[in-house]
């Protein structure tokens, strides 16, 4: 606003001075709020290099990820400066991108998502980025997001290699499923010093294997926690779900459970010296993978005794022919836990405060709270956590360690 006053008063040099300051400071601008120490003003800036109709900032800060018309920046007078300000809690950690000349169509109603996403850009004024590496098997491209992380965001202590910490070994396999009639990649992390002559290792199975093997630094997190003597040595299986079948397989799909118990787990036990004790076996995943992990635990507690869910998609409703519940209501799995006998399971659930942007179906934040309440009412051990972030690997890479500490950490039992 000070800049606008300068421009309106005829100071033609004010804008150039402002951009030189931003080149030094970076963006977005973060300013304290008088008498409100828990929040800050966060102002996103965009410098247009050509005449544009609009520019939006794609983030989860406003609780309406799909309604992009609400994300439009304001142009300052007739300059190249566009801006938008949010009031943000000081512990936020999230990502964002910009889109020039956006169609402003609701993201869920756009029929040409690929072309539209090709126009999304990270913030050239912000050096902090989060990179999604390309995934050639699923024809994925490298994606770069910009990072907003305010000072009170909880530290992510375990995501970077530490000096002197020995690294485990990661091997990649291809596993054919006769039950699902497809093939998938499987990454296996074994701890440093792994040997079949030792006591059987604990087992961790994670869905969306590429995310955990390549985007979230799961091997590094495991190595660091083990070196700090915070968790026991684990054999970790990161199971890919092919993009074309993911929606079905991770949607409370009984054949996927059959694949797990009849093909995957036997293959693991044949290849690796792992426990058959469900109390030392964790199944986990993110988003839809968290839903699938909870479903696997409910149906097969004799194999999976612990469930790790990161932003689980518990809003899911049964629509397929496999679903015995024909009511078509949301939160199908939560109701199954409510009406089923209590099983020998324990849970770690986390979810982001910014994951409140669904209206129909109900939001991931709301439905995780519902699942927590049902599990607690049934008497299940539940470690539940909320972080101030969105539906994104930037946050999950930090909370994965929290989940492991809660479920298998030294002294967790």
pLDDT, tens digit only, all 413 positions of the chain: 899 999 999 998 999 999 999 999 999 999 999 999 999 999 999 999 999 999 999 999 987 777 888 899 999 999 999 999 999 999 999 999 999 999 998 887 877 777 888 889 999 999 999 998 887 654 567 889 999 999 999 999 999 999 999 999 999 999 999 999 999 999 999 999 999 999 999 999 999 999 999 999 999 999 999 999 999 999 999 999 988 999 999 999 999 999 999 999 999 999 999 999 999 999 999 999 999 999 999 999 999 999 999 999 999 998 743 444 445 789 999 999 999 999 999 999 999 999 998 766 899 999 999 999 999 999 999 999 999 999 999 999 999 999 999 999 987 65
Chain-centre distance for alpha carbon 353: 13
Burial class of residue 365 (count of CB atoms within 10 Å of its CB; 0-12, 13-18, 19+): buried
Instruction: State the pLDDT at residue 136.
Output: 61
- Cβ–Cβ < 8 Å for 226, 194: no
Give 138's DSSP letter. G
Residue 256 phi, psi (nearest 5): -65, -40
- Cβ–Cβ < 8 Å for 333, 317: no
Domains of the chain, by residue range, sit at 2-149, 169-408
Residue ranges of alpha helices (H) inside 272-352 are: 288-299, 332-339
Distance CA 308, CA 275 (A): 18
Residue 160 tokens read as: 């970077």
Question: What are residue 135's DSSP bridge partners?
Answer: none
The crossing angle, in degrees rounded to 10, of helices 332-339 and 364-378 is 10
**How, if at all, do strands 129-132 and 120-121 pair?**
unpaired
Please name which of 1, 246, 253, 249 lies closest in space to residue 137, comparing C-alpha atoms: 246
Distance CA 288, CA 391 (A): 11
Instruction: State the pLDDT at residue 359.
Output: 64
Q: Does the domain spanning 169-408 belong to CATH 1.10.287.3510? A: no
What does pTM read for this prediction?
0.94
Distance CA 251, CA 321 (A): 12
Four-residue CA torsion sign, 61, 66, 69, 75: positive
Residue 248 phi, psi (nearest 5): -80, -50
Residue 170 phi, psi (nearest 5): -115, 125
With b for 16 or more beta-carbon neighbours within 10 A and e for fewer, the 17-36 pattern comes to ebbeebeeeebbbbeeeeee
Instruction: State the pLDDT at residue 321.
Output: 39
Half-sphere exposure of 23 (CA within 13 A, CB side): 6
Residue carrying structure tokens 């005794």: 305
CATH class assigned to 2-149 = mainly beta
Asked if domains 2-149 and 169-408 share a fold, the reply is no
Say whether the peptide bond before residue 28 is cis (omega within 30 degrees of 0): yes
Instruction: State the pLDDT at residue 66.
Output: 78
pLDDT digits (tens, 9 = 90+) for 32-58: 999 999 999 999 999 999 999 999 999
Residue 372 tokens read as: 């927590």
Question: What are residue 233's DSSP bridge partners?
Answer: none
Please name which of 324, 274, 332 lies closest in space to residue 304, comparing C-alpha atoms: 274
CB neighbour list of residue 392: distance below 8 Å, 6 or more residues apart: 60, 94, 95, 130, 145, 352
CB neighbour list of residue 172: distance below 8 Å, 6 or more residues apart: 185, 186, 187, 188, 213
Residue 397 tokens read as: 């890479």
């Amino acid at each position: 606003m000070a800049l606008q006053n300068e421009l309106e008063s005829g100071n033609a040099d004010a804008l150039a001075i402002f951009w030189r300051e931003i080149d030094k400071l970076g963006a977005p601008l973060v300013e304290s709020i008088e008498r409100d120490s828990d929040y800050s003003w966060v102002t996103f800036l965009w410098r247009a290099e050509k005449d544009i109709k609009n520019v939006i900032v794609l983030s989860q800060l406003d609780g309406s990820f799909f309604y992009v018309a609400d994300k439009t920046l304001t142009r300052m007078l007739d300059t190249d400066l566009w801006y938008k300000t949010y009031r943000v809690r000081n512990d936020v950690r999230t990502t964002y991108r910009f889109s020039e000349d956006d169609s402003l169509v609701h993201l869920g109603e756009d029929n040409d998502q690929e072309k539209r996403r090709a126009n999304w850009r990270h913030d050239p004024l912000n050096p902090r980025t989060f990179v999604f590496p390309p995934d050639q098997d699923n024809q994925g491209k490298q994606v770069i997001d910009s990072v907003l992380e305010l000072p009170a965001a909880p530290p992510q202590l375990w995501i970077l290699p530490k000096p002197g910490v020995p690294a485990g070994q990661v091997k990649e396999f291809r596993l054919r499923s006769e039950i699902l009639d497809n093939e998938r990649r499987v990454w296996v992390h074994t701890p440093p010093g792994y040997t079949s002559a030792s006591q059987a290792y604990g087992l961790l199975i994670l869905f969306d294997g590429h995310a955990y093997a390549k985007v979230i630094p799961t091997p590094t997190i495991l190595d660091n926690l083990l070196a700090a003597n915070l968790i026991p040595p684990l054999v970790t299986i990161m199971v890919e779900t092919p993009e074309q079948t993911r929606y079905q397989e991770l949607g409370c799909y009984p054949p996927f459970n059959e694949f797990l118990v009849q093909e995957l787990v036997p293959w693991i036990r044949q290849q690796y010296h792992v426990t058959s004790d469900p109390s030392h076996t964790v199944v986990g995943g993110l988003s839809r993978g968290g839903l699938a992990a909870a479903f696997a635990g409910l149906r097969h507690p004799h194999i999976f005794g612990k469930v790790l869910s990161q932003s689980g998609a518990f809003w899911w409703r049964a629509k397929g022919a496999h679903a015995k519940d024909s009511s078509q209501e949301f939160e199908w799995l939560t109701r199954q836990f409510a009406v089923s006998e209590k099983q020998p399971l324990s849970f770690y659930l986390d979810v982001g405060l910014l994951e409140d942007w669904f209206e129909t179906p109900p939001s991931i934040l709301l439905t995780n709270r519902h699942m927590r309440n049902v599990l607690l009412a049934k008497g299940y051990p539940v470690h539940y956590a909320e972080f101030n972030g969105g539906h994104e690997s930037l946050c999950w890479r930090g909370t994965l360690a929290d989940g492991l500490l809660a479920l298998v950490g030294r002294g967790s039992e």
